[in-house]
């Protein structure tokens, strides 16, 4: 296993252990993150996001596999099994992550998953019927961003960027 694969393993092992501080330590200070739920996030925002998600999810279980990396890029698949906070519905989300590195840190992380599949699980019938629409996607993303902003306002350590 090379040092970048070790970094990915360290990140997802910390995720499994709900250790957001160790996850945050894996990012370069100019890192960016994006996914369909939150959109594009800065370093401070992604650090706050992991803190918020792990603090609000008491039953998350995570697995990861197919860790691959060279000196510039890495990837893996991970699966989160949890209760979605807003609806109390059970979700199993299969995610593909792609990373770019700066030194021995994550500089860019892009997570992708089937938003419609996730929405069906998280919202039931409304997600089944509307989960594929831009309107529903934008509503979910705006709600996630508002929730993150509210979390940041309560945690000033994340307010600087």
pLDDT at 161: 56
User: Which ranges in the chain belong to alpha helices (H)?
Assistant: 3-16, 20-24, 43-56, 115-123, 125-130, 134-154
Q: Is residue 159 part of a domain?
A: no
Burial of 157 (0-12, 13-18, 19+ CB in 10 A): exposed
Flag whether 67 is in a domain: yes
Would you write out the chain's pLDDT as a tens digit for each of its 161 residues?
A: 899 999 999 999 999 999 999 999 999 999 999 999 999 999 999 999 999 999 988 899 999 999 999 999 999 999 999 999 889 999 999 999 999 999 999 999 999 999 999 999 999 999 999 999 999 999 999 999 999 999 999 999 998 75
DSSP assignments along 19-49, one per residue? -HHHHHTTEEEEEEEEETTTEEE-HHHHHHH
The answer to whether position 160 is within a domain reads no
pLDDT in tens, 55-98: 988 899 999 999 999 999 999 999 999 999 889 999 999 999 99
Asked, for residue 134, whether it belongs to a domain, the answer is yes
On whether residue 37 sits in a domain, the answer given is: yes
Domain of residue 7: give its range.
3-151
158 within some domain: no
Query: How many residues comprise the chain?
Result: 161
- Give domain status of residue 157, yes or no: no
The whole-angstrom separation of Cα 80 and Cα 16 is: 9
Structural domains of the chain, count: 1
CATH number of the CATH domain containing 33: 3.10.450.50
pTM value? Answer: 0.94
């Amino acid at each position: 296993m090379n040092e970048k694969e070790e970094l990915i393993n360290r990140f997802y092992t910390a995720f499994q252990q709900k250790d957001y501080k160790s996850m945050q330590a894996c990012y370069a200070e100019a890192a960016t993150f994006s996914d369909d739920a939150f959109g594009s996030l800065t370093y401070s925002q992604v650090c706050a996001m992991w803190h918020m998600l792990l603090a609000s999810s008491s039953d998350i279980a995570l697995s990861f596999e197919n860790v691959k990396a060279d000196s510039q890029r890495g990837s893996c698949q991970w699966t989160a099994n949890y209760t979605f906070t807003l609806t109390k519905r059970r979700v199993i989300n299969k995610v593909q992550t792609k990373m770019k590195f700066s030194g021995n840190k994550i500089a860019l992380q892009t997570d992708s998953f089937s938003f419609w599949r996730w929405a069906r699980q998280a919202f039931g019938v409304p997600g089944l019927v509307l989960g594929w629409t831009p309107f529903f996607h934008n509503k979910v993303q705006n709600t996630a961003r508002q929730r993150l902003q509210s979390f940041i306002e309560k945690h000033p350590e994340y307010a600087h960027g």
